[in-house]
A and B are shown apart, each in its own frame.
Chain A
């Protein structure tokens, strides 16, 4: 449900959707100002109307009073989109993400369907690793969320550039990777702490806005680096090395150590001990054992997959550090800062909590340092969660940070909190797509999210969020066509909402109309497509585009309205109409065809059209062949039983000119007699109460009778 919540700092901006399932306590709902330019006094009566999707249009009126100025506007209509975006992501970027995430989502759903079909047919032989599909889905979406990340490790020409300049990451990408890490990535489940360390390496910069971070300290130091002469004298040098080591950025540490003055060629001889010590520490660091599957290229450390191997290596490594700590060479080291700085590094590596605490700035950094140096074989979310609680008490939590709540919810295995955080901080897109990860990753999450709630009309939370997202997509002109993909994956209420969405699209413009009909065809929504075509037909008809109108009504098979149109065409019978209208009338008859069931008289109309055409040819009163042809048509019409009686007089009135042919009578005796008989029948019929008088001048009947009688006379004379 697209609610509006979490105002991100003033300006009345409606934040991301806020269905918060867990909070049942009543809290004050947020109040948003609606800015408008209607001068006072403003009428308290405002009018609202929902536009497509989740946009609300509010009409504000000016109250009628004599004090209104002349130039004032009488009112204004403002539109509020209730699913306002993430501040970090621009509209164009959001659209790109929306378009791009449609196919991974659709692919996943179709795979899900085929898996369940397969499992129903034959339960055992196909062991499908569902999580692999989910990982593929996750990676596809991750690729949309920003440029590929770069590791903080750097191998660049300039040895003084410690941190590689990379594009600023977004919280959305960080959040997605967290979700992928904890829910979808089955391969990494055994090495969660290490994965978290990697994650922090990529996204520590996100926290720099609200508190000091290792990343920000590094950035500051790098900027100073050019100006420093003797780097090892600078206390900040040793600080940043310590901090980088604490969070596991080993490559940066080693690079920084190699900047130590004792490595310079002219210093090597006099500061042998120093450089020896520095190098020894650097080597120790680069050999650090890590409990993980693999390390990327250029990264330092040694990987161990199995716990016993790791423990052995770990103890050996720690023994080496302790031995180094007690070494005799320290006394020989003259440079105070070097000695103390290196010793601090050793303490960090030995897991001294005080050193770790002073080297890190916020709780996440402290947290990962614990995984690196204090408890490297932590496994299981429960113990990770416990450690997190401890770290939060010791170090500050970055304020107004979108990711904190999410991470804590994930660690606490609290599905409701995770959902609420995704919804509040990142919006309906995130929730709709991340639910796929959650249902794959955790049984508890799956049962919670797929359970049907009567209160929602027997919807599950999963389906609800897809509907909400689809509604958000429908609010924008560029993204409404994506909504059907999500709606059709909703079993219960998706099709209903899709039908409503399609029926609300305007029909004036052809591309949009065709797009709409295409979607109807794709999802076999015949009733919707005929409804839309009906609207298009009526719209075109009423706005003078009669041909287009008839075309659409025929497509819609709207017999009722086509019949009415045929009736209108009948009205032109017997009237003299301009050439222009005649052409149009002809064209319409062509379009209507003669197959229409209810408009049974269409056949008559066709014949009448032929008759009219031939009548046109006799304008000049000269051509006798044309006249004969006209007579043929006339007789055909008058003899034909399908010609409705009410048209006899109009037909004859139409052919007055023909009958009054100057040169010679065109009708022979038999024909004239037939026509006179018809006239007689007509006169009798007029006495009946239900007779409908044709709309002709009052002397029409007598004129025709006179003409026929004259003709008869002449015809008899001729024979």
Chain B
């Protein structure tokens, strides 16, 4: 049974919940960032606690910064810039959201932002340097990009992420897993999640499932042909690459897949698409992935 949690302002285009699920940041078409909090700790109804104008144009995506850096969000705007806003109390002023940093580049448009955490710093992945690595000379036209960090929290492990594009260059488009090579201080692709025939498929979304103890990683990739689930082995092979295996091809959504989210155990995948429905997918004991439920807003 569904329960209404809160009502959004007019013109809202995107929302994002923080790590613990008790704060919601929403962005609207006029560039306003509104933050909703629980009215009091024991209640389950939310109220808007602040509205800040962050940009002139529309906000396209909001991403919360990992909590060990405070309460902050990154707002990606329509014009390809993004800015970091933080909630602070300074001296005797009331709590407000302040701008930390604005990232603007004349040559590149920011397509997506996600935060990964390493012990000493916050890594944000924008796409400029990655694009340069892949196709330094030719000009490629990228419509969108999707990135997902490996959500592990271990202190001693390196970070890695998976990245896929929707572009006109097949080499760029296919989803790849990147790992940081400390020796050379740069990011290297270590696995490619596309079958040889499917390399040119436009990638609409990627999602890396939290691993609570499996001997392999699970990554979901949404392309124009549907959603595919890949297993990424944890053992590094001789050439430094990791082996991948495609374990399922899921179809069911009519239309382009917008968003894919894994639950906290990494066993259920929730997806939304341009047909306006939400679908849930799970694997059964035999390893076959099936659609478990569909939700249709009415």
Contact = CB atoms under 8 A, between A and B. Distances in A.
Contacts of B68: 531, 534-535, 538
Contacts of A78: 2-5
A64 B12 CA distance: 9
A76 B15 CA distance: 10
A593 interface: no
B298 A455 contact: no
Nearest to A44: B276
A46 B278 contact: yes
A34 B296 CA distance: 6
Given A12-B2, A45-B274, A542 B86 contact: yes
Interface centre among B2, B90, B211, B272 (most CB of A within 10 A): B2
Interface in A34-91: 34-38, 42-54, 56-62, 64, 68, 72-82, 84
A539 B67 contact: yes
A500 interface: yes
Contact of A77 (B4, B19, B216, B268): B4
A31 interface: yes
Contact of B24 (A35, A77, A543): A77
Interface stretch (A16-24, A99-107, A207-215): A16-24
B233 interface: no
Given A29-B294, A36-B4, A53 B285 contact: no
A126 interface: no
Contact of A79 (B2, B86, B261, B290): B2
B3 A45 contact: no
B73 to A, nearest CB: 13
Contact of B16 (A30, A34, A49): A49
Contacts of B279: 29
B89 A543 contact: yes
A59 B2 CA distance: 12
Nearest to A508: B41
Interface centre among A42, A51, A474 (most CB of B within 10 A): A51
B276 to A, nearest CB: 4
A60 B215 contact: no
B263 to A, nearest CB: 5
B278 A535 contact: no
B136 interface: no
A199 interface: no
B235 interface: no
B182 interface: no
A57 B44 CA distance: 13
A397 interface: no
A455 B285 contact: yes
B21 A504 contact: yes
Given A73-B7, A542-B70, A50 B285 contact: no
Given A34-B296, A48-B259, A80-B295, A543 B87 contact: yes
A366 interface: no
Interface in B266-298: 267-268, 270-272, 274-280, 282-288, 290-298
Contact of B212 (A62, A75, A497): A497
Given A4-B293, A543-B89, A47 B15 contact: yes
Contacts of A542: 70-71, 86-89
Contacts of A79: 2-5
Interface in B93-149: 95, 120
Nearest to A560: B120
B239 interface: no
Given A46-B276, A493-B213, A535-B67, A543 B95 contact: yes
Contact of A500 (B2, B69, B212, B282): B212
A504 B88 contact: no
A535 to B, nearest CB: 5
Interface in A632-686: none
Given A34-B296, A505-B20, A542-B70, A467 B5 contact: no
Contacts of A54: 263, 268
A374 interface: no
B278 A56 contact: yes
Given A64-B11, A542-B71, A44 B212 contact: no
A651 B70 CA distance: 33
A544 interface: yes
B21 A52 contact: yes
A584 B143 CA distance: 51
Contacts of A12: 1-2
B242 interface: no
A26 interface: yes
Given A47-B272, A48-B270, A505-B20, A33 B88 contact: no
B212 to A, nearest CB: 3
B89 A544 contact: yes
B13 A61 contact: yes
Contacts of A523: none
A31 B298 CA distance: 12
A21 B213 CA distance: 21
A497 B214 CA distance: 11
Interface in A137-185: none
A42 B297 contact: yes
B10 interface: yes
A32 interface: yes
B29 interface: yes
Contacts of A3: 268, 280, 282, 292-293
Contacts of B282: 1, 3, 19
A401 to B, nearest CB: 23
Given A44-B274, A50-B262, A531 B153 contact: yes
Contacts of B286: 24, 455
A581 B91 CA distance: 8
Given A74-B8, A79-B5, A80-B295, A1 B267 contact: yes
Contact of B6 (A1, A64, A77): A77
B155 to A, nearest CB: 7
A458 B287 CA distance: 11
Given A62-B10, A500-B210, A1 B268 contact: yes
Contact of B293 (A32, A46, A457): A32
A492 interface: yes
Interface in A444-483: 453-458, 461, 467, 471, 474, 477
A501 B293 contact: no
A59 B278 CA distance: 11
A173 B143 CA distance: 58
B175 interface: no
Contacts of B14: 47
B272 A77 contact: no
A20 B290 CA distance: 11
A11 interface: yes
Contacts of B21: 49, 51-52, 57, 504
A326 B52 CA distance: 98
A323 interface: no
A495 interface: yes
Contacts of A82: 280
Given A30-B294, A72-B10, A493-B213, A14 B22 contact: no
Contacts of B70: 538-539, 541-542
Nearest to B43: A477
A35 B298 contact: yes
A74 B28 contact: yes
A414 interface: no
Nearest to A538: B70
Contact of A4 (B11, B29, B292): B292
B212 A493 contact: yes
A599 interface: no
27 contacts: A19-B284, A20-B284, A29-B290, A33-B295, A33-B297, A36-B4, A36-B298, A37-B7, A49-B16, A50-B264, A64-B29, A68-B10, A73-B8, A76-B6, A77-B8, A79-B2, A79-B5, A461-B285, A492-B213, A497-B264, A508-B41, A531-B153, A539-B70, A543-B88, A544-B89, A544-B91, A581-B91
Q: Return the 9 tightest CB-CB contacts between A and B, nearest first.
A: A457-B214, A496-B212, A455-B287, A544-B89, A75-B8, A493-B213, A74-B10, A44-B276, A3-B292
